[in-house]
Structure 1
Amino acid sequence: MTELSLSRYPETLAVVRLPAGAEIPLWAESSSVFAITATATETSLVCAGRSVPKKARHQKPWTAFCVDGTQDLATPGVLVAMLSPLAEAEVPVFVLSTFDTDWVLVPTGMADRAEEAWRRSGHTVAPAVPVP
């Protein structure tokens, strides 16, 4: 696997669990990284941590990293290259993929440790990009 170039996002994120079929709350949509995953048993959101009401079932704070550029969906091993160094460094993850790239969220308190693990594995990590 080739070396990856990753970017760190500065916004603190949350992972939120909603009931199956729940409507997406407006508070969840104001985020630089926003994802919805719905199954027959639950709806999960990734959104800005600042937006999540205390009563919502959630975990935070998380920091997001993404692979720079557009990834070909047929390219094998991208997630393995991202996740193996984190597993060795005992950094928990929450993973997202979009059509263009892959995202890894790590607990914010372990974000620097994740960066170090990636650098030791030959990957590069760009400083945080501004939140629009």
Structure 2
Amino acid sequence: MTSYTLSRFPETLAVVQLGPGAEIPTWAESSSIFSVTATATETSIVCAARSVPAKARHDKPYTAFVVVPEAGSADFDLSSGVTGVLVALLAPLADAGVSVFALSTFGTDWILVPKNDADKAEEAWRRSGHAIAPAVPA
């Protein structure tokens, strides 16, 4: 099985649910990861937890981990046909009883876990041969 390196972000995140076609609220500020996914039935936002109003339907706190592509690797280029990245990373978490909120970008995968389970997730990944490092600010 392939092993991966993940970076852990210190920022606390939230997942917010808005109605279909909702505009992005002004409080949904940029953070280490900012994601909007819109479907016909809802709009979901991943953003910094610090600004989410109590009245907004949300779930928090989350800790984000990003899969770090090796330098010069095309592993996360969508056209490369790489398979099994998420299963290699999510299976150890399922075995450890850690729930996840997964996101993918063009360049990599992001895994959000409940903040109280972040250390447990790291331990499960290390036991499975993956490496964890603190995120380096960009």
**Structure 1-normalised TM-score?**
0.95
Offset at residue 32 of structure 1 (A)? 1.6
1:97 correspondence with 2:85? no
Letter in 1 for 2:22: A
Offset at residue 127 of structure 1 (A)? 2.1
Offset at residue 51 of structure 1 (A)? 1.1
Letter in 1 for 2:32: S
Letter in 2 for 1:72: D
Offset at residue 30 of structure 1 (A)? 2.5
> How many equivalent residue pairs?
131
User: What residue is the counterpart of 2:3 in the other structure?
Assistant: 3
User: What residue is the counterpart of 2:126 in the other structure?
Assistant: 119
8 Å CA contact 1:12, 1:108 repeated in 2: yes
Letter in 2 for 1:93: V
**Structure 2-normalised TM-score?**
0.91
Tell me the distance in 2 between the aligned counterparts of 1:25 and 1:98.
Answer: 22
- Counterpart of 1:86 (choices 93, 115, 135) is 93
Offset at residue 129 of structure 1 (A)? 3.6
8 Å CA contact 1:10, 1:129 repeated in 2: no
1:57 correspondence with 2:62? no
Tell me the distance in 2 between the aligned counterparts of 1:72 and 1:23.
Answer: 30
Offset at residue 128 of structure 1 (A)? 4.1
Instruction: Return 5+ residue gaps in structure 1 as ranges.
Output: none
Letter in 1 for 2:36: I
8 Å CA contact 1:12, 1:48 repeated in 2: yes
Instruction: Return 5+ residue gaps in structure 2 as ranges.
Output: none
Q: Give the secondary structure class of the aligned counterpart of 1:83.
A: helix
